[in-house]
Amino acid sequence: MTANAKNDRLRVMAELLRANERLRVRELAVRFGVSEMTVRRDMLSLERQGLLVRTYGGGAAGIPPVTLDSLLPHSPATPEKAAIGKLAAGLVQSGQTVMVDTGATALEVARHLPDDPGITIATTSLGVALELYHSRLNLLLLGGFLRKEFPSLYGPLTEHNLNILHVDMLFIGCNGADSAGGFYASDMQLLTQIQAMMRIANRIVVVTESRKFVRKSFVRYARPADIHTLVTDAALPTQDRQALEEQGVSVLITGEGA
């Protein structure tokens, strides 16, 4: 009965906090018919859960703890992204070292990689690291400053670490694409880091939905001739595919040959 009573008090107090109401020890003691010491112990329980910050004579709503998982996108991938990720991941073979960049489509590549302990994955993406944490893959998370927009690492330390590595394959997305001009990113601060990734890779694979080919973005990180493979969906216009292949790009389309 005592445990049930305490749970009821904690539930009511949590509801008051969610309504942004300040809790006062004396008022709660009267409301629940318990001692002020009991109310303080209840508040301590809520404080340990991160729900309450104690104040003079009571408590106020606490700031919920931030977890890595809460920072990552949780909306389901589009069917196009998932199919692109699956097709691209099929390029990886046992014994290879692979760099997976940040971004939603690159994350889909990580989700479809074979669970092979002979494969080593290097990444700056916290999302990729979290996705592969329980896999049998060897995982290298590069150090650096934490980027806020899409949780990942960047900066001089990241680029230094890249410069001492070599990978068989790089999977990278884009914010915009043009079959004549190349592939674009939206953040100029990441340009040198992207190019450092490209320098250490034997094979550069761009993974992106065909809809990115209707626009350019802020900064070009590669011309078509700088990459080896494009993995995209069947809506890629024929003229764009032909233009890319004429420049030496191998174009892989989801659903072809299925």
> What is the mean pLDDT of the segment spanning 82-108?
96
Residue 67 confidence (pLDDT)? 58
Give percent of the chain above pLDDT 70: 92
Residue 35 confidence (pLDDT)? 92
Residue 77 confidence (pLDDT)? 77
How confident is residue 258, by pLDDT bands cut at 50, 70 and 90?
low
Residue 52 confidence (pLDDT)? 87
Give percent of the chain above pLDDT 90: 69
Residue 69 confidence (pLDDT)? 60
Three-class DSSP labels, the chain: CHHHHHHHHHHHHHHHHHCCCCEEHHHHHHHHCCCHHHHHHHHHHHHHCCCEEEECCEEEECCCCCCHHHHCCCCCCCHHHHHHHHHHHCCCCCCCEEEECCCHHHHHHHHCCCCCCCCEEEECEHHHHHHHCCCCCEEEECCCEEECCCCEEECHHHHHHHHCCCEEEEEECCCEEECCCEEEECCHHHHHHHHHHHHCEEEEEEECCHHHHHCCCCEEEECHHHCCEEEECCCCCHHHHHHHHHCCCEEEECCCCC
Domain boundaries, the chain: 2-61, 71-253
Residue 1 confidence (pLDDT)? 45
pTM: 0.75
The C-alpha angle 239, 91, 177, rounded to 5 degrees, equals 35
pLDDT at 2 over 70: no
pLDDT at 242 over 80: yes
Q: Which CATH class is domain 71-253?
A: alpha beta
pLDDT at 222 over 60: yes
> 125-184 pLDDT, tens per residue?
999 999 999 999 999 999 999 887 678 999 999 999 999 999 999 999 999 999 999 999
Least confident of 52-56, 113-117, 177-181, 228-232: 52-56
> 59-87 pLDDT, tens per residue?
888 766 555 565 565 556 789 999 999 99
The C-alpha angle 251, 171, 227, rounded to 5 degrees, equals 50
Q: Starting from the edge strand earliest in sequence, which strands make up the sheet with 167-172, in order?
A: 138-141, 120-123, 97-100, 167-172, 201-207, 229-232, 250-253
Residue 18 confidence (pLDDT)? 83
Mean pLDDT, the chain, integer? 91
> 14-30 pLDDT, tens per residue?
888 888 778 999 999 99
Q: For the domain 2-61, what is the CATH code?
A: 1.10.10.10
